[in-house]
Amino acid sequence: MGFSSALQSRAAHEALIVRQDAELRLMETMKRSIQMKAKCDKEYAISLTAVAQQGLKIDRADEMQGSLITKSWRSYMDELDQQAKQFKFNAEQLEVVCDKLTHLSQDKRKARKAYQEEHAKIAARLNHLTDEVVRKKTEYQKHLEGYKALRTRFEEHYIKAPSRSGRKLDDVRDKYQKACRKLHLTHNEYVLSITEAIEVEKDFRTVLLPGLLEHQQSVQESFILLWRNILQEAAQYGDLTADKYKEIQKRIDTVIGAINPTEEYGEFTEKHKTSPTTPLLFQFDETLIEDIPGKLQSSTLTVDNLTVDWLRNRLQELEGAVKDCQEKQLKMIEHVNGGSPVANGSIISNGSNTSNGIQSNKDSQCRQSKDLNALRCQEKQKQKLVDMIKCALNEVGCEELPSGCDDHLTLEQNFIENGYNNEQQQRSNSTSSPGLGIMNELMRRGGVLTLLRGRGRHFKRKSTPQPATPMTRSRQGRFNKMQPRSQSLGSLSISLSTNRPLYEEEWFHGVLPREEVVRLLNNDGDFLVRETIRNEESQIVLSVCWNGHKHFIVQTTGEGNFRFEGPPFASIQELIMHQYHSELPVTVKSGSILRRPICRERWELSNDDVVLLERIGRGNFGDVYKAKLKSTKLDVAVKTCRMTLPDEQKRKFLQEGRILKQYDHPNIVKLIGICVQKQPIMIVMELVLGGSLLTYLRKNSNGLSNRQQMGMCRDAAAGMRYLESKNCIHRDLAARNCLVDLEHSVKISDFGMSREEEEYIVSDGMKQIPVKWTAPEALNFGKYTSLCDVWSYGILMWEIFSKGDTPYSGMSNSRARERIDTGYRMPTPENTPAEMYRLMLKCWAADAESRPHFDEIYNVVDALILRLDNSH
């Protein structure tokens, strides 16, 4: 299709002018760029000449006499000078290319101006006649009204005149006749103007404008040809693979290849041979800590509230360094065994006799061995520091540590017992003892007496019932709601002395990951107890919301009791109850006070209530089982999370459960609960007996009708319409992530990558992205919306109608991505209804806003099914 038939409209004409303006701007941009390239090449040629001249200023002393390296270097510098001259010549030629581009731009501006003038000329003729027709029509209407008025007046006078004569009647008759003549003349002029306009418009549309556009197309294409030739010429003078450069590089390679490493250093090594260096001895200078009593010990790490954060950060850095060393070693070992080339400063080409351009295979292997030994030494050095810090932290254990200053507990007790109540004396004592200074500040704030009443020997009276204040009664009522039965403060200690296990407490959340715990604690004073695994050991943690989120490891004494900074208790329940009712801070430093116990959510099930029967699959985080609930005898599906996964992965695992728990739709797999009381963490869902949709399609490929396939598409659209209404982006919609029940109904499953927001920007890399199911804007920019799910739904439809085939079969992910970006779309599967394939193509629109939403998709598929049912 050419200009003459396709670009006749006014909008097309304006678009052509805009296109020509854009081309002229592009020419200017190209000209500036080529000018800059020529300038850069000239400057590079000058710099390269300077390099060559500098390189030739070598020492001509006897120390380098007869050196092959020196001889090769001089030849190398001479060739660099030749390169500089070639660059300068090419830069001069690029300036000539710029001149050609300038002339082309000038000619193109003239051609554009000529086109605009000619187009305006032929359009002006048509516009003039169009205006003339309108003007004649207006005159026609004006004279027609005058004619009608005079005719009416004449008829009136004619009827009234008794003799059909008289001066007045004659006057009226004369005016009427003039009006009639004027009307007829105007009529003829209007008819002639219309006829002329018709002919001019026809010539404009069929002859003049097509001819002008056809000529303009020819002009435009000729300019494109000249433009291409100029660009080819510019590319030619920027081609670093040209024969002249190759010849220079070949000469450089020849002179360098003449170097024989075994002959270069023999005499030099013999002349300067020395004996090995003496080892250095490093020891801790114990004189540094002679005047510091007790706290700091030689060659031993000190762990307290002054150093713990630094030690943890340092530990994290060192562990990262160890992991990095291990990964580099693994890559190097894989290369030695025939794997891929390794890093660590060397790029080694397999099958080549050189490495880094100068080493033989033997030298390359020595280099690898040296680098591998260096990495092993680095790993051993870092691991030594890691073990040392871990050992020091494990000895302390608690996440909230005592002060790093002098031990102030004894100072506090002495302060109370000796009755230092005078403020002046407190200030005097604070100058001589750092610990007492802390005490004075606590006393001034009114908190230390309360603190000390709950410490040391004062806890001998802990079994004596205390009077219930309105505050303690309120707190007791809240806490009692967490117990399985109502009880008073006096009877509570009796209940806690029984063998009731910790996992039966409503405020105990098992192995719920730290990130999930933080989500539950919203107000200052909210708390719960959980279990965590540290250094392969189970530890009980108290998590509290107090000016942020704080986590305290329950310390175990030598007698098997439990404590924080205060007194020990026989059970964790008693410890937590004491902290809750005493309203004392868990630690002095944190100031955290327990106010509201946070119960397990209703969907947190007991692990013991789930009986695993048989493994039915494997997921990203662990195995999938068929199971039974003891309480209801209901068959369920259970996803398990491997115990060895880090907390971050466990949080991602539980994300699916957190999303599913708020959804209720027949085409969304239902969540029954999660189990986090102990390992392994489990997500319990309804058991969909038909299994994976992908497996179902492949097993039943011969028995599926179009009606069934369309029904599956409708089910999936219904589920996704529901998710879209909840602002949930699935991000992994595919046949493998859908389930089929015994009634052939499809349910959306696997929400591990889902996000509950209208728009989601990926920030954690694209490694797990299912490329062939993912929309282009998500792959290119990491931006996800519900319209990305629409693209994936189109792929799901293709899977359904292809009966489980693999999308973009035979293409790699990168190849499929390239083809999609260039406009390729998969062809229709065999026997797919045309309307369904058209819907797939709409889902695959490159512009996301052009894709239908799931509500529209559902209505289209439902209407097609209804029409199909009615036709039968």
Structure tokens at 464: 């004596």
Q: CA dihedral in degrees (801, 803, 804, 806; nearest 10)?
A: -60
Question: Would 285 be classed as within a structural domain?
Answer: no
Is 172 inside a domain boundary? yes
Phi, psi of 613 (to 5 degrees): -105, -60
Spatial distance between the Cα atoms of 585 and 573, rounded to a whole number of angstroms: 17
Query: Tokens standing for 305?
Result: 């509230």
Q: Please report, as a single letter, which amino acid is at residue 365.
A: Q
Q: What is the pLDDT of residue 440?
A: 38
Residues 375 and 513 placed together within one structural domain of the fold: no
Q: How far apart are CA 186 and CA 136, in angstroms?
A: 7
The answer to whether residues 52 and 198 belong to one domain is yes
Q: Of 380, 396, 412, which residue sits at a domain end?
A: 396
Last residue in a domain, options 378, 396, 414 = 396
Residue 381 lies in a domain: yes
Instruction: Kindly state whether residues 623 and 499 are assigned to the same domain.
Output: no
For residues 236 and 168, give the distance between their C-alpha atoms in angstroms, rounded to a whole number: 97
Q: What would you report as the CA-atom Rg of the chain, rounded to the nearest whole angstrom?
A: 45
Query: Other C-beta atoms within 10 Å of 395: how many?
Result: 9
| Residues 697 and 821 placed together within one structural domain of the fold | yes
Dihedral sign, CA of 461, 462, 463, 465?
A: positive
Instruction: For residues 57 and 147, state if they share a domain.
Output: yes
Residue 826 half-sphere exposure, CB side, CA atoms within 13 Å? 29
Token couple for 823: 């406009």
Residue 623: inside a domain? yes
Residue where the block lists tokens 């008829």: 155
- Whether the ω angle into residue 770 lies within 30 degrees of 0, i.e. cis, is no
Chain-centre distance for alpha carbon 775:
14
Name the residue range of residue 477's domain.
466-597
Catalytic member of 41, 371, 526, 732? 732
Two tokens, residue 317? 């850095």
Report yes or no on 257 lying in a domain.
no
In a 3-state reduction of DSSP, which class is residue 337?
Answer: coil
Q: Which CATH number goes with the domain that contains 618?
A: 3.30.200.20
Residues 228 and 356 in one domain: no
Helix (H, G, I), strand (E, B) or coil at 144: helix
Note whether 741 and 667 are within 8 A (CB).
no
Per the domain annotation, does 1 fall within a domain? no
pLDDT of residue 395: 58
Instruction: Quote the pLDDT of residue 476.
Output: 45
- Regions of the chain where pLDDT drops below 70: 1, 59-66, 161-165, 265-273, 275-277, 291-295, 305, 336-363, 394-499, 534-536, 752-768
Domain holding 783: CATH number? 1.10.510.10
Pair 731, 845 in one domain: yes
| 247 is a domain residue | no
Identify whether residues 678 and 799 lie together within a single domain: no
Give the pLDDT confidence of 498-530 residue by residue, as tens digits: 457 887 788 888 877 777 788 889 999 999 998
Residue 67 sits in the same domain as residue 181: yes
Q: What residue numbers does the annotated binding site for ATP cover? A: 616-624, 639
Predicted local distance difference test score (pLDDT) of residue 243: 86
Cα 559–chain centre separation: 51
- Give percent helix, percent strand, percent coil of the chain, each to the nearest 5: 60, 10, 35
User: So what's the pLDDT on residue 400?
Assistant: 42
The answer to the question of residue 459 being in a domain is no
Contact assessment for residue 688 and residue 626, using Cβ atoms and an 8 Å cutoff:
no
The terminus-to-terminus CA distance of the chain in angstroms comes to 44
Are both 659 and 729 inside the same structural domain? no
Neighbours of 659 (CB within 10 A): 19
Identify whether residues 614 and 680 lie together within a single domain.
yes
Cα-based angle 219, 223, 229 (whole degrees, multiple of 5): 150
Instruction: Note the Cα 408 to chain centre separation in Å.
Output: 50
Please give the pLDDT value at position 759.
Answer: 56
Domains: count for the chain: 5
Beta carbons of 841 and 825 less than 8 angstroms apart: yes
| Helix runs in 404-468, H state only | 409-417, 423-432, 434-444, 448-453
Residue with tokens 């944190």: 590
Are residues 608 and 582 located together in one domain of the fold? Answer: no
What are the backbone angles phi and psi of residue 236, rounded to the nearest 5°? -60, -40
Tell me the CATH number at 115.
Answer: 1.20.1270.60
Phi/psi at 616 (5° precision): -120, 0
Q: How much is the pLDDT for 512?
A: 78
- Tell me how far apart the alpha carbons of residues 218 and 19 are, in angstroms, rounded to a whole number: 15
Tokens representing 42 are: 């000239």
| Tokens standing for residue 702 | 């011969």
Question: Kind of pairing, strands 746-748 and 549-553?
Answer: unpaired
Whether 732 sits among the annotated catalytic residues: the reply is yes
CA 871 to chain centre: 47
**Domain's final residue, options 185, 211, 236:** 236
| Residues linked to residue 684 through DSSP beta bridges, in sequence order | 638, 673
Are 476 and 568 contacting, i.e. CB atoms less than 8 angstroms apart?
no
The string of pLDDT tens digits covering residues 450-470 is 333 333 323 333 333 333 433
